Amino acid sequence: MAITDLQSKDHRDLLDTIDQLRSQGFSRYVDLPEIIVCGDQSAGKSSVLEAISGMSFPTKDNLCTRFATELILRRNPITSIKISIMPGDDRFQEEKDFLSSWRPDVDLEGEGLEVVIEKAKAAMGLSTTKLFCNDILRVELSGPTQPHLTLVDLPGLFRAGNKEQSADNVELVRNMVTRYMNRPRSIILAVVSAKNEYVLQDVTVLAKQADPQGLRTMGLITKPDTLDSGSDSEKSWVQLALNKDVELSLGWHVLKNRSYEQRDFTLAQRDANEEEFFSTGIWMSIDRSSCAVKSLKSRLSSVLKQQILDQLPSLVADVEHGIEGCNAKLSRLGDARESPEQQLRYLTRVSQEFTSLMTSAIEGRYSDAFFGDTKGYLGYEKRLRAVVQNRLEGFAKEMRKSGQSLVITESDDEHAYGDRGISRSQYIGEVKDKMSLSRGCELPGLFNPAIVNELFVEQCQPWRDVVTNMAQDIIDSVHLTTRCIIQQAAADDVVDEILILLDAGIERCKANMDEKITELLQPQYGIHAITYNHQLTKNVQAAQRARNRTAIEKKIRETFGTRGFKDVDSKVNINPAQIMDLFLDEIEPDMGRFGCSIAVDYMQAYYDVALDRFIDDISVIAVEGCLIRRLPSLLTPSTVLELEPAEISHLVGENDETASRRTNLIKKLRTLQKGLQDIKRFQRHRDATAVLLQRTSQSPVSKSQALEETDPTPPPAAKDPETPDLQEQGWEVPMSQFHLSRQIFQNGGNDQQLDHLEYTST
């Protein structure tokens, strides 16, 4: 790539866009592509920056820069210098305002940056007690010989303290450098001195940790003239420079610094001396593009440009993701809640959303995004109707399975039910004993109706525990759904206070439900058995018929064998007298047991009828009527209007922390939105330029001919006072190309397209 291409307007716009984003604090939220200059103390970083910029940097790399320094270089016919400070995030607002407006009153031409850095340290409040800060010194240099380049200079790494820097600061500097290195879009310019062993320099270790594959690290070797000519050490450094020892995707570069004797050399003398050095000896084997400062400028410029272009898609994605996050957090915070009117509006909106979502939750309408999808149980707790339905269904199953104190079996398999199992024969014997204690005027074989109620009361004793556990589960689910809805509708800092209000309402509903459950349980324990359901007699007859069938079948099998039951065509000789005897044998001779058996049948039949009725009453009257249907009315707009202003303020009043968080989020959102616009604007212009250049390069006619064919009578272009005269400023741009760009501007009507196209010459 030619140097003229690197210095194109397109290139400058690209870097300016990124630098403008950085100056606006954009990098606080999204990592931006940048070249960071890092190395050990005395590695020659300052000399490298001085050679690149032409500006005198402090030559002692002993923590004079206790902060990051951005060096922004731009090619421009007019030389200009601008110094400023970008405050760190940890500063108070007053400090930020002061540092943002700070400008040094020094003569940079005569004094260089030493005085500027000392004044910047004073402005930042650095001293012997505060050695480092997160502020950034910005040095913007423009001139006809400057490249389009932006570098971030970091403090030099060191291992031991001295009178100017304590050992405690070793980790501070190391952490600062590591933080910059770990940014995935940073190009690491690792400066290593040939005076020291490569493997002993800390910057190589940190760079390897941050960039294990060496994809975004470029090595820069300084002080090659300190090596003994022809020595093994010199050869090993040459191998490193040739990218044969430690391979880096971006390769290596070699730079010769001015020696102490050459400290008064002008930049021209310095560059000439450097060219001479790399033109002799073993250093002649290094490609000219990988040595000397002249090629370093264009190389770094090209690397940074390519890094920015490569990272633009992911940068846009990160910014859009950041904008989504800001909008989500701001939505959670809601509008400002400082004045009573704002608080009333806010709580009213929360009540509306609560009522709407709770109504949908209890009616089973889950179309709102709040309820999620049905791919899993994630968000299941929000679907209150589904939770209640499933729990009540489980309640019904549990009542039928575990609602009886005793499980009465017709056979001797009562052991399958543990302590609850009892055979019918044994149970009838126990009932007979109870009936003997409560006999009335009934004849033998009959029973006192009160015994049915007494047996039923004993059987339904587990109901109270089963229904109590179910009710508590339902209440827990209601609390959980309510919390989810309020977390959706209200800001985090007011969720707990609003929940206290709602929990009190839920507890009132729970008290009503518990009272209704007690009311529904009372007839089961304190009133004689009552039902007019015809299912009672059907259940009794069905039970007796099934029991008689089983008994008769057993007798027939014992008398005639099993052959006749298995084969319908088989012939069995049956004596009618025998059949009659079988039926007569089934008559219970003990009239007391006979009456007990009937009483047990009625008790079991009544239990089934009462159980079904109780399950429905609990579900409909207690759970649904006393709790679920009342939930949407716990916080309605009308409820909010009935609250006192002091109560509303207590519920949703905004504290300083929330107000500050909203302010910071709004600032971040605006920064990201503005940055996204700038990035996309540059992308559109770049794409439009690429399309135009491709079309003109494929055309068989010249650009001037293409212009004439597009518009045979183009009007003369008026001189834009903001558009520089390129030829007057020394730029070699063919006028035909200038007119081509100008005509496109007039047809398209876009100022930025004019600037973009005007300087993209081939």
Most confident listed range (141-145, 231-235, 431-435): 231-235
* Average pLDDT score over the chain: 81
Higher pLDDT, 214 or 66: 214
Average pLDDT value for residue range 449-463: 88
The structure tokens listed for 65 are 């820069």
Distance CA 93, CA 675 (A): 22
**pLDDT for res 724:** 42
CB atoms near residue 536 (< 10 Å): 17
Bridge partner residues of 421 (DSSP): 407
Question: What percent of the chain is predicted at pLDDT more than 70?
Answer: 79
CB atoms near residue 409 (< 10 Å): 18
Distance CA 112, CA 115 (A): 7
498 pLDDT exceeds 90?
Answer: yes
Lowest mean pLDDT among 404-413, 424-433, 557-566: 557-566
- What is the band of 178 on the pLDDT scale with cuts at 50, 70, 90? very high
Question: What percent of the chain is predicted at pLDDT more than 90?
Answer: 36
Higher pLDDT, 419 or 6: 419
The amino acid occupying position 203 is: V
5 pLDDT exceeds 70?
Answer: no
Integer angstrom CA distances of residue 422 from 61, 407, 459, 606: 94, 6, 12, 19
**pLDDT for res 729:** 38
CB atoms near residue 738 (< 10 Å): 20
Give 538-565 pLDDT, tens digit per residue.
888 888 788 777 777 777 777 766 655 5
**pLDDT for res 198:** 87
Higher pLDDT, 575 or 460: 460
Give 82-101 pLDDT, tens digit per residue.
899 988 888 888 998 899 89
The structure tokens listed for 617 are 């009453």
The owner of tokens 């065509």 is: 569
**pLDDT for res 570:** 57
**pLDDT for res 442:** 67
Average pLDDT value for residue range 478-493: 93
Give 558-590 pLDDT, tens digit per residue.
776 665 555 555 566 666 666 666 665 555 566
Give the residue among 375, 344, 330, 430 at the shortest CA–CA distance from 645.
344
716 pLDDT exceeds 80?
Answer: no
β-bridge pairing 34-39 and 186-193: parallel
Distance CA 146, CA 511 (A): 81
Give the residue among 497, 479, 481 at the shortest CA–CA distance from 347.
497
Average pLDDT value for residue range 670-694: 76
Q: Are 294 and 270 in contact (CB under 8 A)?
A: no
**pLDDT for res 13:** 79
Lowest mean pLDDT among 113-122, 197-206, 315-324, 716-725: 716-725
Higher pLDDT, 289 or 691: 289
Geometric angle at alpha carbon 456, from 591 and 390, rounded to 5°: 140
Integer angstrom CA distances of residue 327 from 132, 349, 548, 580, 660: 34, 18, 75, 89, 16
360 pLDDT exceeds 70?
Answer: yes
Q: Which residues of 676-692 are buried (b: 16+ CB within 10 A; e: fewer)?
A: bebbeebeebbebbeeb
**pLDDT for res 375:** 75
